Structure 1
Amino acid sequence: MVAGPPAIIVHSLAQALVAAEAAAALGKPLTLRSAPGAGGTVGVGWFASLGAVLAERFPDLELTLVLDCADEAGTALGALRRGLKAVRVAVPEETRAKLEALAGGYGARLDDDDRPALDLSQSLVERGGLVEQADLAARCRDWLGRHG
């Protein structure tokens, strides 16, 4: 069984800040997941920095960050070494077992939460690319109110 609320998938610092503000206002824990494959595209450092910004701005927020590394085992390992506590990775079972053992040594885990997640990029698609911050905040509050 997966602990914590279902994830909100963010594609930018602005989206992460909106989600964190909504969770903090509601007094709810927050699980933020990167976009699929973000470990290899925007990088481990970017996601770790996003976490540092959120921790500084919302010190009382119970926050879980999950970096999606697609099928890149090396990127997942780099994320664990960088201090991220949860990564998603789609690799063969033998490789996954090795990564799980390594993750445990770092006090981290591999994420396999298959529950639906709120992808904030969907807000952009539904509105033709134009979405206001208030709309994102409302979507986050609604999601967290129903699932958090």
Structure 2
Amino acid sequence: MESNLTPDVQAQLALLRDISLPEAVSWWPLAPGWWLAAGAVVTLLIAVLVYRYFHRRSLRYIALQELALLRRGAADMHAVELATRLSVLLHRIAMAAGNRESGKLSDGQWREYLCQGRQGMASGIAGFIASAPYRQQDHFPADDEMPDHSSLLDKSEHWIRRHT
């Protein structure tokens, strides 16, 4: 092919250089959009950590953890003993939630307090929990009149979730 070209054209072709590619784009320094994305991720991470810290210190979280401990050991307890421990726990929760006067309530008044409002417990279970600390296991009515463990625990959990 070169033989067909004139010496002028050949001289001009000799002056041409190969195409040079630009350098590859580096990751550093980052573009402003990446800095914004990194800042958003760090801010979100800090917000989640702060939320988890305060959530774990919340009254509801602590009360539900104590209820979970009671739930684990409930199979070995008599219903009266379980209701007594639930009564103590619910008293502590009510007092910690700001109702200091609830610590002075007992039996009938405590049952009424547990039943208050739409979010209250059923009267039978609230009465059982309220009277359990004042009765002995062997002097309690027949077993068919006692609520089962799961209903005591479930109603107490529902009450805790609604009142904390």
- So what's the TM-score if we normalise by structure 2? 0.23
Higher helix share: 2
* Structure with the larger RCO, 1 or 2 (CA within 8 Å, 6+ apart): 1
TM-score by length of 1: 0.25
